[in-house]
């Protein structure tokens, strides 16, 4: 009897085990969605920087996660009104990644090596996404588990910046880790800088693992656990932050071998803590004085989501529900006298939001129709703000705000029609909402001499919008979308006082400082256009370009009439991106990317203008083996001084100068 020979080595099957996830309904094609694949993720060590290639993606202060304070790492889609909390929902295989206290996203906890890709859906995300997806959603997909090492990146660069990230495991286990350190750059440079100005240092670590197993009859159980910590210098002498947290997600689901169908039940919990100290800057920037010490901000969020999918002929549908609860408290020492803090503060509360939805899609070429409805309830409870004299223990403020609650219906509709196999039209209308975060409701904060007060009376923001688009597929892939959005009750930092002076609750504001308060300031109306085009000049040369143009204006109404007719803070009117990928040989790959952003304003009164800026990034990779390469990357090639912030007395801070990185990358 002959003996069977083993298969040749190049025919060994690689088993990839993906987490239980439901396929999007066919109707997603009717909305403004962009895919970010592994080919983009592998060229940058930062997920937020990769997302910025999508037109309309906006970080709050132009500063990426290499240097941004955790409280400003909010992500918004379309330049309607970015905020530190962010107005976009970020999920990882269905589980929210936004911080339970502040709504921001700790990007260092999501290394690109652990991801397969991302789907960016612009426009209010009613339907399966729910609360928080006010301007859209970023749906991340985690990498499938394979046997052995599946991704590795080791790099070193300017300003003692070093990074190590890896992903690997076994078919039922995925482990992803990252460690990074950087001596940082000083954001205030040149003649304006003084002894008060220091580098934006960074040290971060994150680790996560996912285990999963098929339980019975196609039902898969999955558990994902992770933790992170990042320590940052804030760019001012004596100011720093430490953000840490842990999370767990448990998923049970059945997904069909292909297409729509199945069900998913998911439970998740996230805990986080933030330590954040701020300082007052002396005239001439020669020294700083401690302003407050936020020594702990413990928060916990937990929730569940459930979904059931079905399909009957050309109609597919999904119904489900989700619930999210968050509780957090801010603990601070503030008001310095004779070198000692004299006051203590605790402020916090609870938020709850939950809803149910039904969405369906009809997909019969050449027509796709889709629609979804949601009903959400929300509540803010347990509000407290107590301040006391540290020497005597006597209260100086003891404020308890009444609980608040409400319900908000939302919906979205879309249609797509293929004129030819290569050209299509689409249109959509939608409504979404975002409840205020615990941070916005209860935590005052300080940046330099600028103070922003909290507001426990904030109510949810709501957004309505319509859009229409056209696009085509072929040798040149292109699309264009025109949109109109109406944001009601936007949570805005409204200027209510200019220093020097003493104000109720906030106390003394020094010269060159500004007092603001978070308020639901009227409404914002925005219209604009976003477009993408890409093509292949040859099998070895690919190009791409994109544009996002938004005209947004505030109507402050009776709450903030001084803002009427002004542009929302931190909103550029025009963003242009372009890129080129060239493979001149089998081993060499060259990438070039350029991003232009028009001027934006630092503040609500449009008195602090941040100039337009252009950044050019280059990367060259030499393939050392089929799955690995050594690379050289140069970020901000022209060493452009790109404005990211400006104080009331006119001192501008800048993004990172030219940065050179050398590294080794492996992807399988």
Q: Give how far Cα 494 sits from Cα of 62, 153, 455, 562, Å.
A: 20, 43, 11, 9
Greatest alpha-carbon pair distance for the chain in Å reads 97
Give me the pLDDT at residue 1, please: 36
Please tell me the distance from the alpha carbon of residue 31 to that of residue 34, in angstroms, as a whole number.
9
Q: Are 133 and 432 in contact (CB under 8 A)?
A: yes
Outline where DSSP puts E strands in 457-522. 461-472, 476-488, 491-498, 501-503, 507-509, 514-520
Here the tokens at position 414 are 């879309």
How far out from the chain centre does Cα 300 lie? 19
User: Which tops the pLDDT comparison, 65 or 83?
Assistant: 65
How far out from the chain centre does Cα 374 lie? 24
Please tell me the distance from the alpha carbon of residue 459 to that of residue 436, in angstroms, as a whole number.
7
Q: Please report the DSSP string for 568-621 in residue order.
A: PTT--SEEEEEEEEE-SSSSEEEEEEEEEE--EESSTTS-SEEPPEEEEEEEEE
Q: Which pTM value belongs to this model? A: 0.91
Q: How confident is the model at residue 628 (pLDDT cuts 50, 70, 90)?
A: very high
Give me the pLDDT at residue 247, please: 97
Please tell me the distance from the alpha carbon of residue 497 to that of residue 648, in angstroms, as a whole number.
12
Q: How confident is the model at residue 327 (pLDDT cuts 50, 70, 90)?
A: very high
Q: For the domain 13-667, what is the CATH code?
A: 2.40.170.20
Q: Please report the DSSP string for 636-666 in residue order.
A: STT----EEEE-TTS-EEE----EEEEEEEE
* Nearest Cα to Cα of residue 307 among 257, 264, 359: 264
Give me the pLDDT at residue 3, please: 39
Q: With a cut of 80, say whether residue 59 has pLDDT above it.
A: no
Give me the pLDDT at residue 84, please: 66
Phi, psi of 22 (to 5 degrees): -95, 140
* Exposure string for 367-384, b = 16+ CB within 10 A, e = fewer: ebbbbbbbebebbbeebe
pLDDT tens across 93-111, in order? 999 999 999 999 999 999 9
Percent of the chain with pLDDT over 70: 97
CA atoms within 13 A on the CB side of 43: 25
Q: Please report the DSSP string for 184-202 in residue order.
A: ---SS-GGG--TTB----E
Q: With a cut of 70, say whether residue 8 has pLDDT above it.
A: no
Q: How confident is the model at residue 466 (pLDDT cuts 50, 70, 90)?
A: very high
Q: Are 124 and 463 in contact (CB under 8 A)?
A: yes
- Count CB-CB contacts under 10 A for residue 420: 10
Prior bond of 75 cis (ω within 30°) = no
Q: Are 383 and 400 in contact (CB under 8 A)?
A: yes
Q: With a cut of 90, say whether residue 159 has pLDDT above it.
A: yes
Enclosing H/E stretch for 438? helix 438-442
pLDDT tens across 420-430, in order? 999 999 999 99
pLDDT tens across 639-659, in order? 999 999 898 788 999 999 999
pLDDT tens across 196-214, in order? 999 999 999 999 999 999 8
Q: What is the mean pLDDT of residues 352-377?
A: 94
Q: How confident is the model at residue 13 (pLDDT cuts 50, 70, 90)?
A: low
pLDDT tens across 554-612, in order? 999 888 899 999 999 888 999 999 999 999 999 999 999 999 999 999 888 899 999 99
Q: What is the mean pLDDT of residues 170-178?
A: 94
Give me the pLDDT at residue 649, please: 82
Q: What is the mean pLDDT of residues 318-335?
A: 95
pLDDT tens across 495-515, in order? 888 878 777 776 777 777 788
Q: Are 591 and 540 in contact (CB under 8 A)?
A: no
């Amino acid at each position: 009897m002959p003996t069977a020979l083993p298969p040749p080595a190049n025919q060994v099957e690689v088993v990839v085990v993906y987490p239980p996830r439901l396929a999007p309904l066919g109707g997603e094609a009717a909305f403004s969605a962009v895919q970010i694949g592994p080919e983009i993720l592998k060229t940058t060590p930062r997920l937020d920087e990769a997302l910025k290639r999508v037109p309309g993606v906006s970080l709050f202060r132009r500063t990426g996660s290499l240097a941004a304070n955790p409280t400003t790492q909010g992500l918004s889609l379309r330049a309607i009104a970015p905020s530190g909390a962010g107005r976009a929902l970020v999920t990882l295989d269905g589980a929210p990644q936004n911080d339970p206290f502040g709504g921001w996203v700790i990007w260092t906890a999501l290394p690109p090596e652990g991801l397969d890709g991302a789907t960016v859906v612009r426009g209010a995300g009613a339907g399966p996404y729910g609360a928080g997806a006010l301007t859209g959603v970023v749906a991340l997909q985690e990498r499938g588990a394979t046997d052995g090492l599946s991704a590795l990146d080791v790099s070193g660069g300017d300003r003692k910046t070093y990074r190590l990230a890896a992903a690997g495991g076994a078919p039922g286990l995925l482990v992803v880790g990252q460690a990074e350190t950087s001596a940082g750059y000083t954001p205030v440079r040149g003649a304006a800088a003084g002894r008060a100005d220091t580098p934006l240092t960074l040290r971060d670590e994150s680790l996560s693992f996912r285990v999963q197993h098929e339980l019975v009859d196609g039902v898969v159980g999955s558990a994902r656990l992770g933790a992170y910590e990042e320590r940052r210098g804030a760019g001012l002498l004596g100011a720093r932050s430490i953000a840490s947290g842990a999370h767990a997600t448990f998923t049970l689901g059945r997904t069909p071998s292909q297409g729509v169908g199945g069900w998913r039940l998911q439970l998740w919990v996230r805990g986080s803590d933030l330590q954040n100290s701020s300082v007052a800057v002396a005239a001439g920037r020669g020294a700083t004085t401690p302003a407050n010490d936020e020594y702990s901000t413990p928060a916990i969020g937990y929730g569940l989501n459930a979904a059931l999918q079905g399909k009957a002929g050309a109609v597919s549908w999904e119904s489900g529900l989700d619930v999210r609860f968050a509780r957090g408290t801010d603990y601070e020492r503030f008001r310095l006298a004779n070198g000692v803090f004299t006051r203590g503060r605790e402020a916090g509360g609870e938020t709850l939001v939950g809803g149910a939805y039904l969405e369906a899609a009809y997909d019969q070429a050449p027509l796709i129709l889709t629609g979804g409805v949601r009903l959400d309830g929300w509540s803010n409870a347990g509000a407290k703000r107590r301040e006391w004299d540290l020497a005597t223990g006597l209260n100086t403020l003891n404020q308890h705000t009444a609980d608040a609650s409400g319900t908000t219906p939302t919906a979205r509709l879309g249609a797509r029609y293929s004129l030819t196999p290569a050209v299509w039209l689409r249109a959509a209308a939608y409504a979404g909402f975002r409840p205020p975060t615990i941070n916005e409701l209860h935590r005052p904060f300080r940046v330099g001499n600028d103070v922003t007060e909290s507001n426990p009376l904030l109510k949810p923001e709501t957004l309505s919008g319509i859009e229409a688009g056209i696009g085509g597929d072929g040798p040149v892939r292109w699309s264009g979308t025109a949109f109109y959005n109406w944001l009601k009750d936007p949570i805005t930092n409204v200027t209510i006082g200019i220093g020097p002076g003493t104000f109720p609750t906030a106390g003394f504001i020094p010269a060159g400082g500004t007092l603001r308060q978070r308020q639901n300031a009227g409404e914002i109306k925005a219209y604009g256009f976003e477009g993408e085009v890409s093509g292949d000049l040859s099998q070895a040369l690919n190009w791409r370009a994109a544009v996002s143009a938004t005209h947004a204006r505030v109507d402050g109404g009776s709450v903030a009439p001084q803002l009427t007719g002004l542009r929302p803070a931190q909103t550029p009117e025009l963003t242009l991106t372009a890129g080129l990928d060239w493979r001149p040989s089998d081993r060499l790959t060259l990438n070039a990317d350029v991003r232009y952003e028009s001027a934006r304003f630092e503040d609500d009164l449009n008195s602090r203008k941040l100039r337009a800026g252009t950044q050019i990034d280059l990367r060259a990779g030499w393939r050392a083996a089929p799955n690995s390469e050594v690379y050289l990357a140069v970020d901000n090639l022209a060493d452009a001084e790109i404005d990211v912030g400006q104080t009331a007395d006119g001192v501008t801070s800048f993004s990172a100068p030219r940065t050179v990185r050398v590294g080794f990358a492996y992807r399988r």
